[in-house]
């Protein structure tokens, strides 16, 4: 997509957002990828794609999974980060001052995905209020459209448009209203990767990681998973990266001390204690 692309809907010019380019690869867990692709598929000319929700602990790769499915379909990827402060206009169309003194209407990544037939990933959707979810209700049923009060237009989704939301399993979220919940089907649950999958993820994400550092970090992750702790491969990537930096700077005698230092800084003194290596 060319920079600053502009389209016109009902006489209103919309400046489109840019798609996401750099996404890490999805490794392993082919079954959940196929479940997501099935939800987006059509079994007849009259069928419509479903709007699934991906549920799992933070850091298990929900967003990466959604991006992998979009890549399989060769669709552009647009990500909206939901927060407790997300407003309907943030999800749809936002007015900004034009350099000439007028008003410029900026399409959100979601609206851009709708008009371009891309994939929109609403990240951490259960952090969003009911007011914001209500603005998406017609998009998530047979109407497949949204109404922008700010711009005074209705935007219809291209036939190729696909939607998915990720949701974290934690307490710091809103309860999604039932009329929205019923539109977000099916629920696809993502668990922690297997050990060989985590090893491959770490090798790819932490280029040049030493084998000893890698094995210490994997041991930390396996122990955390068995204890049903929240730590994920994302935490493992950060620990491995910091440990390698410490080693390269000569600030630790060996891999065990480097990973120890990384764990204590990442987790805090008390929480890191059960994982002590040196």
Residues 154 and 234 in one domain: no
Same domain as 180, residue 265? no
Domain boundary among 157, 189, 221: 189
d(CA 242, CA 216): 13
User: How confident is the model at residue 275, as a pLDDT?
Assistant: 84
Lowest mean pLDDT among 5-14, 45-54, 172-181, 209-218: 172-181
**263 domain-assigned:** yes
Q: 48: which 2 tokens?
A: 């419509």
Residue 1 lies in a domain: no
Q: Are residues 151 and 131 in the same domain?
A: yes
* Cα separation, 278 vs 275, whole angstroms: 9
Statement: the pTM of the whole predicted model exceeds 0.75: yes
How many domains are contained in the chain?
2
What are the angstrom distances between the C-alpha of 82 and each of 116, 123, 136, 211, 226? 21, 6, 13, 37, 30
Shared domain check, 268 and 227: yes
Same domain, 119 and 137: yes
More confident residue, 80 or 57: 80
SS3 label, residue 106: strand
152 and 87: one domain? yes
Question: In this structure, are 63 and 106 located in the same domain?
Answer: yes
Q: Does the residue 48 lie in any domain? A: yes
Both 238 and 252 in a single domain? yes
Token pair of 163 as six digits? 């939607």
DSSP state of 50: -
Residue range 23-49: average pLDDT? 92
What confidence tens digit (pLDDT) does each residue in 159-203 have?
999 999 999 876 656 788 899 999 999 999 999 999 999 999 999
- 144 within a domain of the structure (yes/no): yes
204 shares its domain with 146: no
CATH assignment at residue 145? 3.40.50.300
Per-residue pLDDT tens digits for 97-149: 888 778 899 999 999 999 999 999 999 999 999 999 999 999 999 999 999 99
- Which residues lie below 8 Å from residue 3, measured CB to CB, with a gap of 6+? 18
Clarify whether residues 173 and 227 are in a common domain.
no
Residues 80 and 38 sit within 8 Å (Cβ to Cβ): no
- Tell me, yes or no, whether 179 and 205 share the same domain: no
Domain span at residue 34?
Answer: 6-189
In a domain, 131, yes or no: yes
**Do 127 and 67 fall within a single domain?**
yes
């Amino acid at each position: 997509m060319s920079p600053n692309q502009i389209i016109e809907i009902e006489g209103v010019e919309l400046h489109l957002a840019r798609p996401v380019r750099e996404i890490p690869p999805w490794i392993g867990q082919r079954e959940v990828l196929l479940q997501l692709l099935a939800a987006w598929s059509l079994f007849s000319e009259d069928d419509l794609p479903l709007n699934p929700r991906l549920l799992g602990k933070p850091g298990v790769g929900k967003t990466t999974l959604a991006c992998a499915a979009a890549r399989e379909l060769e669709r552009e990827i647009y990500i909206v980060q939901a927060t407790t402060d997300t407003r309907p206009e943030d999800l749809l169309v936002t007015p900004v001052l034009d350099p000439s003194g007028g008003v410029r209407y900026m399409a959100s990544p979601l609206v851009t995905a709708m008009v371009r037939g891309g994939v929109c990933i609403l990240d951490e959707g259960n952090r969003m209020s009911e007011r914001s979810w209500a603005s998406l209700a017609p998009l998530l049923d047979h109407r497949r459209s949204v109404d922008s009060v700010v711009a005074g237009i209705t935007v219809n989704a291209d036939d190729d448009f696909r939607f998915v939301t990720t949701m974290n399993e934690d307490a710091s979220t809103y309860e999604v209203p039932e009329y929205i919940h019923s539109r977000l089907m099916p629920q696809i649950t993502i668990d922690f990767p297997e050990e060989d999958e985590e090893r491959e993820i770490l090798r790819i994400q932490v280029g040049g990681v030493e084998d000893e550092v890698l094995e210490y970090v994997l041991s930390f992750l396996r122990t955390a998973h068995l204890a049903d702790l929240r730590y994920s491969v994302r935490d493992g990537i950060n620990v491995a990266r910091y440990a390698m930096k410490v080693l390269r700077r000569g600030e630790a005698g060996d891999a065990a001390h480097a990973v120890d230092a990384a764990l204590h800084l990442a987790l805090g003194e008390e929480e890191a204690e059960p994982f002590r290596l040196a």
